[in-house]
Amino acid sequence: MDAINWHTFFFLLFSLVACAFAIAVVLSSNIVRMAFYLILSLAATSGLFFLAGADFVGAMQLMIYVGGTLVLLIFGVMLTNQGPYTMLKSRGDSWLLGVVAGVGLLALLTYTALGVRDWMGPTEEQLAETQLAFAQPSATATPIGNALLGIRVDKLNGGNEPDAQQQVLQGGMSGYLLPFEIVSVHLLVVLIGAAHLARTKKRSDTRST
Amino acid sequence: MMQFLAQPVGAAHYLLVGAVLFVCGVICMTTKRNALGVLMGIELVLNGANVNFIAFSQPALRADRGLALGLDGQVVAIFVIVLAAAEAAVALAIVLNFYNNHGTVDVDEADELKG
Amino acid sequence: MAEFFSTYLPSWLAQLVTGLIQCVILLHVPLVGAMFFVWVERKAAARIQDRLGPTRVGGMFGWLQLLADGLKLLTKEDLRPQEADAMLFRLAPYVGFCASFTVFLALPFSDGWVVQWLDVGVFFILAVLGLEVFGVILAGWASASKWSLFGAMREAAQVVSYEVPLGMCVVVPVMIAGTMDLVAIGRMQEGLFTNWFIFHDPFTFVIFFVYFTCGIASVNRAPFDLAEAESELVAGFHTEYSGFRWLIFYMAEYGSMFIVSGLAAILFFGGWNGPIPLADLLGLTDANGELAGYLGRFLGMLNFVFKSVLGVTVMIWVRWTVPRLRIDQVMTMCLKYCTPIAAVMFLGATLWTYTFPGGVTGLRGTPYGTVRGVSAQRVELSDLTPATEDAEGAAGEGSDNKPAEEHAGDVAAAAADGEAAAASTPSGPLSIATFASSRARSR
Amino acid sequence: MATQTGTAFADDPRIIEYDVRTDEMLINMGPQHPSTHGVLRLVLRTDGEIVSEAVPHIGYLHRCAEKIGENLAPRQFVPYTDRMDYLAGMNMNLGWALAVEKLMNLEIPEKAKHLRVIIAEMNRIASHLVGMGTYGLDLGSFSPFLYAFREREKILDLFEEACGARLTYSYLTVGGATHDLPATWLEKCEAFLDQLLPVITEYHTLLTTNAIFVRRAANIGVMSAATAIDFGCTGPVLRGSGVDQDLRRDGEQWYTEMYDGYAFEVIVEKDGHYPKDHEYPAIPKTAVLGDCWHRFYVRMLEVIQSIDLVRQAIDRYRTATGSHCVPVKLNQKLPKGEAYLETECPKGQMGFFIVSRGEAIPWRVRARSSCFSNLSVTHELCRGCLLADVPAIVGSLDIVMGEIDR
């Protein structure tokens, strides 16, 4: 035993960090600390993404997901100065419900994940090929960009025969142009909607403040 | 331990991580009384789902390579991230409004629609 | 190195030792860099202010001053306010420093001299650089001091706002290059200085200045140093910090400064390529042997470091010259000036590359400049059928089971979905260049 | 951040305009704070970045100077006046000396008068240089501070040569000055003034016309002439609001006779420009009379004015007759009665009140502090400004705590 599979090593590292801090989020009741743990968990998950060869998604996770949590953190900080909202202790019954449901779900998911033999990893014959695949830097940004424009470079490369490629070209490449457009419009709507919801309002305040 | 370190990991291991994140998120959503805590739970749930998508997209993580999602998995993960950001924006705006109206972020207080 | 160690150690330990050694070496880049920049800052500030600055420590010019300062800070008492959130207060400096340090993983110092060659290098750097703000916010909150909290909230507002124009500015060179790979972007600017992206078109020229402004703002340097505005907030977010933890903040700041100017050097000033291709003229290329290639890259690294240091020096110069902006003015600057200007320049640069695909002068060999080791191919609608032929070469062995990102093919394949292309550009050329590089690592 | 403005719907208290419910925060700015010019403590009530109230708390530097003055002969009290406005010790000395001379009805020789003008105006330059430098510091620009101190050092060198001290001079005393000026002092002084004039132009480039500086100072802390008069503001603070008042011209005869025959104009804005601004930058469009920028600019122009006055005084001093002082004995009995005299000090009008019962030691001594009145307006100016404006406003008032707390 003198060989370490470094992919496994880093997988273990990142997954332990991600899971440990996810559990810490659950156990903590200080909102700022929760946000901090969540950030670490999400950052470790982005490490898992990089490890799995999804560079673009990993960077995106860091930029958008973790960046989005920043706003949560800021809200936490803002509310913290308001006294009692830092520590809202969970109730016992919700703990019971949550843990029961959670453990059941975890058992189900674990059973499912471990149920398929092929998912347990590459076979002995595929080992060398796997090492090679992970040794190369993954170039995912351009294919993803093209896919979002509706061009599936990976599918074009998929077949050896020109016939297959023609087939792909003619049969449509199942790109993501339409979802991309929908998401962009959706984001715009969300932007306006959130700004509208959170904007300065005038209203008659009947309660004594 | 060393035995495990010598073996290559597979999609199943990623799925386990995803499951832990997902379950943590679910527990977070059910137990937290703080609206921001609930939001964090949602983020964790979506993140756990994303781990699954990424795990399935990588053919080198599994024995049946041809069945890997490939680029599709990554693109879906991207959409999840983007929509999570959008969801967080709207949810925070709602929390803000809730806070303005009720003076608290305790979701247990939001029971006005109860019959 | 791993091979050397493996003669004495088990191979996994050898690899571990090698990795640790490399980590330590890399860690010294920001650390020694920060030391150097602190010294530069002190000397430059002194010169600007008609003083001498440090003169004694280390013999001449006080070049060991920071070492002395560091020793002093290490021996200081590590204070923590009673009310502080102990864990977050202790951790916050490291969060900021880790973010700043991690960026160095993806920053190429010369052609191929990069720790982790990332396809999404620019994206990664921007993302990780944005994480530095967490350290500041946590420090400000955990200190349980109102001044610190003020600094933290200012920093949060500022960084979140300035990420928008900063991202837009960075996208322009990325769009011109057609890749987010910093090494590829650097390689595209080979040759004379006219190939640098800042001289690519008038829009990139303008956008560099927007980028630099936003860069200064995002690393919290004067006139945007609101988070630590000493005349208003005592010391802002690090009011309650002392000794080593304070030093960590300081190092993170200088590390970020170097990163921002280093990114500017790669994106706009040709990275490791000098104004004239001196290494090529001297024959210091890989073609003349490994040593010559190594020397050429070393020359490139000096180039890169020089440009980055120049950028940092300009930041220092600005800091000691102008007063500080107010928070609303900082926001106005971002939202009313930087963002619209960046957006317009982005549009302009897009139209420019669309109109003059090969550049105005036509001096560049390929549409986007000569790229060594990376072949670019421009595919137009009419080339749809030939493109499939090109793709043939890309279909290597085992490609059935591998998606495109795994391909080590040396030919770029790009094609246009007929409908999508027709919808977007009815008659014009569809400029999609993909770079699937052989990526023979030259390290 | 949040704003809670109810002004638009002030008639209906139930309608509020809000963004996020926020609590107000009380912050102590000082007494240990980098930009409070000593040991001033400002209690700020803030809503996010917006300051709704700024209350100055003083007294951290109280040293019973007035009470000490009631136990010492007037000449012995001179060193204590140094420590009031320690940035303009000479002017403090002069104010006290003149007040005592007024009580004693003591005429001093012509030469001593011109010497006093030279020294007082030189110290005015030094004080305004510090004011300029620290104002730059308050706005976040460090370098002008050191430039200003570099020039001030040269003035201190001259003072050191004249009286042996660099900060607490006790040079101008009852009856004139303690020593006459040394042999080549006047030449050195003239050389310094020649060198200072172009440097001031550089300061204008660095600060007065700097875009960021104008943004930070113009239209901030606007004080109307009426407010300034109501609060008893004096000196550059008053003139910055457009009130044409300068004791060197408008003061009592006992004081103004020092300046008899000198050509100078009071630095105050008339019809959109200042008397000596022809070769200096124009007033920016955003600047409003009475804002921080105007107060700063008045000080800058007063430096020029003082240079001019020193030059005139040097010419007169050279041809003046008489000695540098009339000797006053330490135990000389003061005439029965009282005297009050205000002089135009760099920070404003500083007055000394002295009551005598015919003994060598005054019965009562009081000082009227200019900075005290100038500071009292802080509360008025800081209402509704941003947090970053507080140092800008307090800095533009150019206060010295030593004088306020005495």
Q: D2-60: per-residue pLDDT in tens?
A: 444 434 334 445 544 555 556 677 888 878 777 667 788 888 888 778 888 888 888 88
State the amino acid at position A200 in one-letter form: T
Closest partner CB to C400 (pick from B57, B60, B66): B66
| Residue C198 DSSP one-character state | G
Set of chain B residues whose Cβ sits within 8 Å of the Cβ of A90: 31-33
So what's the pLDDT on residue C418? Answer: 33
Say how far apart CA A146 and CA A153 lie, in whole Å: 7
- What count of CB pairs under 8 Å joins C to D? 85
The Cα of C316 is separated from the nearest Cα of chain B by a number of Å equal to 36
Least confident of A155-164, C354-363, D14-23, D165-174: D14-23
Enumerate neighbours of C (3 or more CB pairs within 8 A): A, B, D
The CATH number assigned to the domain holding D285 equals 1.10.645.10
CA distance D389 to chain B (A): 29
Give pLDDT, residue D125.
Answer: 92
Residues of the domain holding D320:
65-405
| Residue found under tokens 């530095």 | C132
User: What residues does each domain of chain B span?
Assistant: 19-103
* pLDDT above 50 for C426: no
CB contact under 8 A, B71 and C406: no
Average pLDDT over residues C345-367: 68
Q: What confidence score (pLDDT) does residue C211 get?
A: 92
Look at the domain B19-103 and name its fold.
Helix Hairpins (1.10.287)
Q: Are residues C329 and C411 in the same domain?
A: no
* Poorest-pLDDT segment among B1-5, C32-36, C272-276, D336-340: B1-5
pTM for this structure? 0.81
Q: Are residues C213 and C318 in the same domain?
A: yes
Query: In the structure, what pLDDT confidence band is assigned to residue C408 with cuts at 50, 70 and 90?
Result: very low
* Neighbouring residues of D391: CB distance < 8 A, sequence distance ≥ 6: C231, C232, D35, D36, D138, D139
Indicate yes or no: CB of D21 within 8 angstroms of CB of B100. Answer: yes
DSSP C362-407: --SSSTT---SS----EE-GGGHHHHHHHHHHH--TTGGGS-GGG-
Q: Tell me which chain B residue has its CA closest to the CA of residue D22.
A: B100
Residue C54 domain-assigned?
Answer: no
Residue C404 is which amino acid? A
Position C357 scores a pLDDT of: 66
Which pLDDT score is estimated for D340? 92
Q: Would the CB atoms of D21 and B96 count as touching at under 8 Å? A: no
Cβ within 8 Å, pair A133-B60: yes
- Give the CA diameter of chain C: 72
pLDDT value of position C391: 38
pLDDT of residue C382 exceeding 60, the answer is: no
Query: What integer best gives the mean pLDDT of chain C?
Result: 75
pLDDT at site A1: 46
**Partners of A87 in the β-ladder:** A30
Q: Where residue C423 falls among pLDDT bands split at 50, 70, 90?
A: very low
C333 vs D contacts (CB less than 8 Å): none
When scoring A78, A85, A196, A199 by the number of chain D Cβ atoms within 10 A, the one with the most, hence best to mutate, is A78
pLDDT of residue C373: 38
Instruction: Return the pLDDT at C417.
Output: 33
Mean pLDDT lowest among C286-290, C384-388, D75-79, D389-393: C384-388
CA D311 – CA D318 distance, rounded (Å): 11
User: Cβ of A202 and D17 within 8 Å?
Assistant: yes
Name the residue ranges covered by the structural domains of chain A: 1-87+133-138, 139-199
Range of the domain at C144: 76-355
Mean pLDDT of D86-92: 88
Domain count across chain C: 2
**pLDDT over 70 at C407, yes or no:** no
Distance CA C182, CA C197 (A): 13
Least confident of A201-205, C354-358, D91-95: A201-205
Residue D57 forms part of a structural domain? no
Minimum Cα–Cα distance from B60: chain C residue: C402
pLDDT at D2: 41
Percent of the residues in chain D that have a pLDDT greater than 70, as a whole number = 93
Q: Which two tokens stand for residue D380?
A: 């008025």
More confidently predicted of B35 and D94? D94
pLDDT confidence band for C437 (50 / 70 / 90)? very low
Strand order in the sheet with D337-345: D337-345, D348-356, D364-368
A52 in contact with C, Cβ within 8 Å? no
Give residue C377's pLDDT. 39
Residues with Cβ within 8 Å of C205's Cβ and at least 6 positions away in sequence, in order, are C198, C199
**B96 and chain D: CB distance < 8 Å anywhere?**
yes
Is D291 within a domain? yes
Confidence of residue D128 (pLDDT cuts 50, 70, 90): very high
> How close C401 gets to chain B, by Cα (Å)?
5
Chain C segment 343-402 residues within 8 A of B by beta carbon are 400-402
Does C332 touch chain D if contact means CB atoms closer than 8 Å?
A: no
More confident: C363 or D110:
D110
Low-confidence ranges of chain A (pLDDT < 70): 1-3, 76, 79-90, 126, 132-133, 135-137, 153-174, 200-209
pLDDT of residue A208: 43
3 state DSSP class of D79? helix
Q: How many domains does chain D have?
A: 1
First to last CA, chain A: 70
Q: Residue C332: in which H helix or E strand, if any?
A: helix C327-332
Cross-chain Cβ contact A162/C388 below 8 Å? yes
The pLDDT value recorded for residue B89 is: 82
Query: Residue D126 has what pLDDT?
Result: 92
Q: Domain A1-87+133-138 carries which CATH code?
A: 1.20.120.1200
A10 touches chain C (CB under 8 A): no
In this structure, are C253 and C384 located in the same domain?
Answer: no
Does residue C27 fall inside a structural domain?
no
Region D301-317 average pLDDT: 89
Amino acid letter, residue B104: T
| Residue D227 domain-assigned (yes or no) | yes
Between these two residues, A135 and C314, which has the higher pLDDT value? Answer: C314
Convert the pLDDT of each residue in C235-293 to its tens digit: 788 888 888 888 888 888 888 888 899 999 999 888 888 787 777 777 777 777 778 87
- pLDDT per residue over D215-233, tens digit each? 888 888 888 889 888 888 8
Q: What percent of chain C has pLDDT over 70?
A: 79
Is there a single domain that holds both residue C311 and residue C426? no
Question: Who among A63, A71, A143 is closest to C405 (CB)?
Answer: A143
pLDDT of residue C116: 77
Question: Per-residue pLDDT tens for C56-68?
Answer: 877 778 778 878 8
Task: Give me the mean pLDDT over the B95-103 stretch.
Answer: 75
Q: What is the pLDDT of residue C430?
A: 30
Chain C residues within an 8 Å CB radius of B71 = 403-405
The answer to which of A102-106, A130-134, B59-63, D243-247 has the lowest mean pLDDT is A130-134
Closest to D378 in 3D by CA, of D404, D402, D352: D404
CB contact under 8 A, A31 and B36: yes
Mean pLDDT, chain D, rounded, equals 84
